[in-house]
Structure 1
Amino acid sequence: MKKYFIQKEPFVVPTTDGKLIEEHHGIPTTANKDISIAHMIAPPKWSEPFQTPEFEEYTYIISGKKQFIIENEIVVLEAGQSIKIEADTRVQYSNPFDEPCEYLAICKPAFDFNKVHREE
């Protein structure tokens, strides 16, 4: 039995907002509930509703910029920067800029739609 797994076919999460989400490890791909790792590209002018997830989220920006509103504070990350947002923190993710933002997102425990608590 191999002691490693190379992910060659990430799960592409269906979206309606133009955002690319390729989950490499997590619940839908590897049934891993402890951690999820996703490659994402947020198109220009993209945003999603505020949410208060039950998991930590780490984000590493590969290119472009991404805006976070974390409990009413605006934070902008650029390529080469990363952030950790604690579980049970109200946050909104967006890309209000004119270029796409490519990034990696790691959630611990794994991202779970039932535990993200997006606002309507």
Structure 2
Amino acid sequence: MPELIKAPTQIPVPGGKVIDEYVGRVNSGESAVSIAKMIAPGGWTEPFQTPSFDEFTVVLRGTVRVEHDGGFTDVSAGQAIVTRAGERIRYTTPTGEGAEYVAICLPAFGPDLANRDSD
């Protein structure tokens, strides 16, 4: 039977970014996949990470910059990017407008699976 997700759970994070998890470990108990909508202010950044999950990101508004070993890739509204487990990456919002985007992680996101650098 279909399962309605009536509302997301907001995941607290520093730096002014808002994470609304619809499907995942916190909101629905799902460990195979997570789906979350993020809103990040302009100039937002997070530490580098080497996740143990694949991440599929669709940008709805603004620009998300993905820094990686080969440099960086700017992903604009209407575009998507795929990062693979084991790649060292960092997400930022390089423009003043910030960004709104949806991230799908396989398996589901978990802080212990992000493997964030301690910088």
Q: Same fold (TM over 0.5)?
A: yes
Q: Which residue of 2 aligns with 1:87?
A: 85
Q: Does 1:73 align with 2:71?
A: yes
How far residue 38 of structure 1 moved from its aligned partner, in angstroms, is 0.1
Question: Could you say which residue in structure 2 is the equivalent of 1:116?
Answer: 114
> Given the alignment, which residue of 22, 27, 33 partners 2:31?
33
CA distance in 2, matches of 1:89, 1:16: 23
CA distance in structure 1 between the aligned counterparts of 2:14 and 2:114, rounded to whole angstroms: 18
1:22 match: 20
Gaps of 5+ in 2: none
**Identical-pair percentage:** 37
Question: Per-residue CA shift, 1:15-74, capped at 9, x if unaligned?
Answer: 221101000000011111000000000100000000000000000000100100122421
With the length of structure 1 as denominator, give the TM-score of the two structures. Answer: 0.95
Which secondary structure does the structure 2 equivalent of 1:52 belong to? coil
Query: Larger deviation: 24-33 or 66-75?
Result: 66-75
How many residues align? The count is 118
Provide the C-alpha distance between the structure 1 equivalents of 2:4 and 2:41, rounded to a whole number of angstroms: 28
Question: How far apart, in 2, do the equivalents of 1:12 and 1:109 lie?
Answer: 19
C-alpha distance in 2 between matches for 1:15 and 1:33? 20
1:79 alignment partner AA: A
What stretches of structure 1 move > 6 A for 4+ residues in a row? none
Offset of residue 80 of structure 1: 0.5
- Report the CA distance between 1:78 and its aligned residue: 0.4
